[in-house]
Structure 1
């Protein structure tokens, strides 16, 4: 899947997925990106620390904000995009009013702040979908591989943005026997993960293509 391919990880945190791909798959290049400059410094440290494991694979960190112009010089250049847990919990303005109005009478600033967060979530999903379309290579085969829980209607709203950007997607629930069995254990009374529930905790596999 990754051999001889150009790969970018979005919202990577400290870059575990990207580092693993670089060390084990003979990818041509792996770019490990995040929007936080301090985190990007940590990524660089992790790359330098593990450089002996990468063979001929080029590995580099990148500060990448999904709505900024620096994305443009990478347009349509990656064979594979990977990301995990990049779809955030969404809150609609209507649900904010229904849920919080009894608690916020006389506190309009809090209502405005909550509605602003709802707008942020909408733009967040829009920016992630747009940068996915922008980075996927064309012409030629390319795909984005995301892992994310549903989180209410958050994943659905993100996938609506994916469709609006002219991309296709598929969702797979059971993609690894060991992970699925662990999920079943947690759903059936295993208390080793307090508060575990499927909607917010179980990662679905989303594959996005042109």
Structure 2
């Protein structure tokens, strides 16, 4: 019996058990660290997806709606100015017209316009001008209510003649595209064709576009 027990080394068996335990604990720690990394990564990806989704929504919803447009007849049977009445588009949050740009594209000119209302009372070749029609809370420049209405005025004569030779604005039949883009990227596109008949119109007379 004594010889039989000698075949088992209790010290060796204890060492093997401790080694297995150490390996097991190490595996648990690695798994915990990996799980933490996965949770953090999932949280980061979720936040990024939410930001991207909100940005996409803003580009679609945060924009203006053009209610009507008219032009002003110049001295050479052309359109010297374009005026648009704008409001918030349905579902849009507030739009700051001071941070809104208008891209003007005609057959001969491409120009990006910004708001000059704070410093100028008129539009020129690089600025549009804003005037109030209705404003519920006196926050002029910011469309934050569906009842707010502003007029946006664009000086086509200055844009079409950057050299200042006063040869006129947009002639009959000419087309112009206006892209109104808010700070968040929401864009409204307006395509206008000048009236075919301007003869007989007096200078300064408004005509529907």
TM-score if structure 2 supplies the norm length? 0.21
- Higher helix proportion, which one? 1
Q: TM-score, normalised by structure 1?
A: 0.21
Bigger Cα Rg:
2
| Higher RCO (CA < 8 A, seq sep 6+) | 2
